[in-house]
């Protein structure tokens, strides 16, 4: 499966960066994520519970980051094992850039699944990935907003960002769930894990 696209994050790049570097934020933002542990400077282990159609499993993912260009982009590759459910593996190029109304996260993902997930869930992979990514951005946007209110300096810096949506009616709809219906990043497993780890790596 190959997917590419971009998502508007309702916050300026530095704040997105800061929040994404908080493992706890990522753990909360990634749907079904139970743990994120750094294994070395560029590697992480994550545990994510995923349900694709009739297949439900806990995936243990190993993720490696490369081409790190903080705070602008990286390449992430990983593999998640889900026991009887099979496995997911893949990679993604992700980049962040400033834009009106916040930060644009662009992604280009290649991923594949194996075992029961491929056998039963292959036709559900795209829609599941879309939903997981949508959930991720929804959670993430909410978490970013919270952290803003708790961190006065960040809030100060980012006043223009929250303002942007209100100043532009078209853009104001972007951060809502509607915008996340666009083709999204993460494949069921590898993608979720990938996003998390990317941000974690930046934190390191």
Q: Are 190 and 88 in contact (CB under 8 A)?
A: yes
- Is 188 a binding residue for other proteins by CB under 8 A? The answer is no
Q: Which of 76, 113, 144, 194 binds other proteins (CB under 8 A)?
A: 113
* Contact pattern for other proteins over residues 83 through 102, marking x by CB under 8 A: xx-xx---------------
- Is 115 a binding residue for other proteins by CB under 8 A? The answer is yes
- Is 123 a binding residue for other proteins by CB under 8 A? The answer is yes
- Is 122 a binding residue for other proteins by CB under 8 A? The answer is yes
* Closest among 65, 74, 70 to 14, alpha carbons compared: 70
Least separation, in Å, of the C-beta of 123 and other proteins? 6
- Is 118 a binding residue for other proteins by CB under 8 A? The answer is yes
Edge-to-edge strand order for the sheet containing 102-114? 2-9, 102-114, 87-99, 73-81, 55-69, 43-52, 33-40
Q: For other proteins, which is the closer residue by CB, 106 or 122?
A: 122
Q: Are 50 and 189 in contact (CB under 8 A)?
A: yes
Longest CA–CA separation in the chain, Å: 51
Binding site for other proteins (CB under 8 A): 83-84, 86-87, 112-116, 118-120, 122-123
């Amino acid at each position: 499966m190959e997917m590419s696209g971009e998502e508007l994050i309702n916050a300026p790049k530095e704040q997105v960066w800061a929040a994404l570097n908080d493992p706890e934020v990522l753990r909360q933002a990634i749907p079904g994520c139970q743990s994120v542990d750094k294994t070395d400077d560029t590697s992480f282990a994550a545990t994510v519970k995923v349900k694709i159609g009739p297949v439900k499993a806990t995936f243990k993912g190993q993720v490696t980051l490369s081409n790190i260009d903080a705070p602008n982009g990286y390449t992430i590759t990983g593999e998640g094992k889900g026991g009887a459910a099979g496995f997911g593996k893949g990679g993604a190029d992700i980049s962040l850039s400033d834009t009106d109304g916040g930060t644009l996260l662009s992604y280009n993902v290649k991923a594949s699944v194996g075992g029961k997930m491929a056998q039963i869930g292959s036709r559900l992979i795209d829609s599941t990935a879309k939903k997981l990514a949508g959930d991720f951005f929804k959670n993430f946007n909410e978490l970013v907003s919270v952290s803003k209110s708790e961190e006065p300096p960040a809030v100060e810096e980012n006043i223009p960002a929250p303002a942007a949506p209100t100043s532009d009616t078209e853009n104001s709809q972007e951060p809502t769930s509607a915008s996340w219906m666009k083709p999204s990043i993460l494949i069921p497993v590898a993608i979720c894990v990938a996003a998390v780890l990317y941000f974690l790596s930046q934190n390191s």
